[in-house]
Amino acid sequence: MAYGISFTQALYVLIFVADKMRLNRFEMVPTSLISEALNLPRPSAAKILKQLNQAGIVETATGVKGGVCLAKEPQQIRLYDIFRAIEGKKPLFRSDHPLNASGMRPKQVKDTVRELLLRFEHNLARNLADYTLADLVSVHEKS
């Protein structure tokens, strides 16, 4: 099962918003500017922003002075939180494939594969939790 591009797009959106806020260009970054600058279709941007808003990562406002701002400081927003906001709680790997073979060996193989895939998923979560939006923004600033 492959994840889509929404997580990557969410990272671009958050870096863009963080930059605009850091430079005091906007209190609320217009969603139209986000869509245009990042080449995101408005429905895709709206879906991503809704997910980030529901997770408490961004705040949104409608109207003439509406737009998006970060709900927290960049150093308080872990990449794991962004990932979960976009992808939900679905597992990275599925290991529930039924085998026709029976006996001890197929069961052992299936258990081993399941444990290994769970370990991969836990490692990914731990690695994502080690980085924050501030890490990405600071890398972006140096370029």
Q: What is the pLDDT of residues 29-62, one digit of tens each?
A: 999 999 999 999 999 999 999 999 999 999 999 8
**Residue 96 domain-assigned (yes or no):** no
**Residue 124 domain-assigned (yes or no):** no
pLDDT at 65: 82
User: How many CB atoms within 10 Å of residue 12?
Assistant: 17
From the list 55, 56, 34, the residue with the least C-alpha distance to 46 is 34
In tens, the pLDDT along 67-80 reads 999 999 999 999 99
Quote the CA–CA distance of 81 and 100 in Å, as a whole number.
Answer: 38
Its pTM stands at 0.85
pLDDT at 98: 84
- C-alpha gyration radius of the chain: 19
Domain CATH code at residue 23: 1.10.10.10
**Residue 116 domain-assigned (yes or no):** no
* Total domains in the fold of the chain: 1
**Residue 65 domain-assigned (yes or no):** yes
Q: Tell me if residue 14 falls in helix, strand or coil.
A: helix
**Residue 97 domain-assigned (yes or no):** no
Domain carrying residue 137: 6-90+132-142
Chain position carrying tokens 């444990």: 115
**Residue 100 domain-assigned (yes or no):** no
In tens, the pLDDT along 94-138 reads 888 888 888 899 889 999 999 999 999 999 999 999 999 999 998
pLDDT at 143: 44
**Residue 48 domain-assigned (yes or no):** yes
Average pLDDT over residues 11-19: 96
**Residue 110 domain-assigned (yes or no):** no
Identify the burial level of 70 via C-beta atoms within 10 angstroms of its C-beta, where 0-12 means exposed, 13-18 middle and 19 or more buried.
buried
